[in-house]
Amino acid sequence: MDLSVAETASVLRSVIAPFVAQGAIVRRPRATAWAERHQTDRGAREMLAALRDRYDGAPLSMRLGPRRMVVVTRPDQVQRLLQGSPDPYSPASLEKRGALKHFQPDGVLVSGHDERRVRRPLNEAALDADQAVHRSGRTVVDTVERGARELENQVRATGGLDAQQFARTWWSMVLEIVFGERARDDLGLVELLDRLKRDANWSGLHPRRTRRRAELEQRIATHVREAAPDSLAGVGREVDAGAVAGQVPHWLFAFDAAAATTLRALAVATARQEVRERLRDELASADPEGPPAVLPYARACVLEAVRLWPTTFAVLRDSVRDTDWDGRTLPAGTGFVVVSSFFHRDPQRLDVADRFAPEVWLDGRADEDWGLVPFSGGPASCPGRNLVLLVASHLLVRLAGLDLRVQRARYLADDPVPATVDHLGLVFRSRR
Ligand code: HEM
């Protein structure tokens, strides 16, 4: 269905503009605060639901300058795009290539077909994509435990925790998980990457800073050479020493989403006693001597946080050949858009749309639903999913024991939960 100029303008205003304003690659704090004040995800979702109903679930085609973009509105259409990746639906969309070339031109996400054949297995192996607990799980959980202690000291010293204080400890943990203990203080690397990510928010409109990127590559190459064997880079080095450094910028970048999700899950836990208690009980019943525990409830809370507040606003695909949709041939080079917050919270399909309902991840309902894709799905889905769930769940159960209370807890204490939560504005206070 071709949208009219007026309908296209509404989609631009309600769906695309808030997402671009907040920063597709790295969030801009003033814009995320504005998005929360205006609950922008609600507007986006209502606009798409209205168009879905008006056109009976047909894909919505828009012309944006020379580009044709198709917004899908049914889970079977999402399934078709994601299962059909990377051919005929390539994850390396024009917009992603424009943005990610600033700091990860060799990342698998923006790779062509032949490079993907090498880089995807490398990512899967280094991140142990299929394993709930990474082969270096013990080291990962020890790092998380140390991070949790550091945050506890922070709470003791200042009486609370905000997103910025959380970030300092988080990034040390991430550097240790990615490269090993020697790297944990190199927060300068994170700052350098951040600056390039800020350029990436402007996609192709911002010139590339070649010198800065060369510096990033050189620093990462040094860390990879010196990486501990059980770090992610160390494991990746064993698989393909030549290609691993090119994947590291994406790993570091993607831990940003994991931080946002952990903070949001923690915010809900601190606002709801029953969630907090269940998390504490799960940690208490884990065997401290055995291999790192899979914490199903904590993992479900993390998944639920990223369902309710997806960190990838839109999953994008570009067709690499002509494809037929509803009896119509769309030419190669068409862009396809899956707007996560629309699918994740669609009250027409989901009775838990606006509820914090970790149980949907425990009873298999969510996994069967192609509309619930916080980590994407199909052959190009996130290979970091299990690692994220390991890190975030182990941190969450420990922080749940600190007796924190999130400011403005009343918005999260009951359902329905807000459409938009600015994780950068979260502030926690100790109850003690
Ligand atoms: C809450 C945290 C995270 C979320 C919600 C998330 C979500 C996603 C999504 C939706 C995609 C698909 C993007 C697309 O198709 O456009 C993706 C791809 C990817 N993610 Fe994650 N991710 C997270 C963290 C991580 C971490 C920590 C790592 C690595 C350490 C990672 C590694 C990757 C890689 C390598 C890809 C590209 C896969 C490919 O193109 O084949 N992710 N992620």
Is residue 191 within 8 Å of residue 256, measured between CB atoms? Answer: no
Structure tokens at 95: 């917009």
Q: Which atom of ligand 1 is least distant from the CA of 82?
A: 15
CB neighbours of residue 351 within 10 Å? 8
On the CB side of 250, CA atoms within 13 Å amount to 26
Model pLDDT for residues 191-232, shown as the tens digit of each residue: 999 999 888 887 777 777 788 889 999 999 999 999 999 999
The protein residue with its alpha carbon nearest to ligand 1, atom 18, reads: 382
Chain-centre distance of CA 169, in angstroms?
A: 19
Asked if residue 51 has its Cβ within 6 Å of ligand 1, the reply is no
pLDDT value, residue 345? 97
Distance 369 CA to ligand 1 centre (A): 19
pLDDT value, residue 103? 84
Is residue 94 within 8 Å of residue 203, measured between CB atoms? Answer: no
The domain limits of the chain are 5-430
**Into which CATH architecture does domain 5-430 fall?**
Orthogonal Bundle (1.10)
Name the burial class of residue 66, with classes exposed (0-12), middle (13-18) and buried (19+) by CB atoms within 10 angstroms of its CB.
Answer: exposed
CB under 8 Å to 347, separation ≥6 — which residues? 353, 354
Distance CA 274, CA 195 (A): 40
Q: For the chain, which ranges sit under pLDDT 50? A: none
Distance CA 192, CA 131 (A): 31
Asked if residue 97 has its Cβ within 6 Å of ligand 1, the reply is no
Mutate to test the pocket of ligand 1, among 128, 341, 382, 393 (most ligand atoms within 8 A of CB): 382
CB under 8 Å to 125, separation ≥6 — which residues? 235, 236, 239
Phi, psi of 374 (to 5 degrees): -60, -25
Distance 206 CA to ligand 1 centre (A): 24
pLDDT value, residue 219? 97
Structure tokens at 399: 């922080």
Phi, psi of 117 (to 5 degrees): -60, -25
Asked if residue 376 has its Cβ within 6 Å of ligand 1, the reply is yes
Asked if residue 387 has its Cβ within 6 Å of ligand 1, the reply is yes
Asked if residue 108 has its Cβ within 6 Å of ligand 1, the reply is yes
pLDDT value, residue 101? 87
pLDDT value, residue 119? 97
pLDDT value, residue 304? 98
Distance 245 CA to ligand 1 centre (A): 17
Model pLDDT for residues 108-153, shown as the tens digit of each residue: 999 999 999 999 999 999 999 999 999 999 999 999 999 999 999 9
Distance 178 CA to ligand 1 centre (A): 15
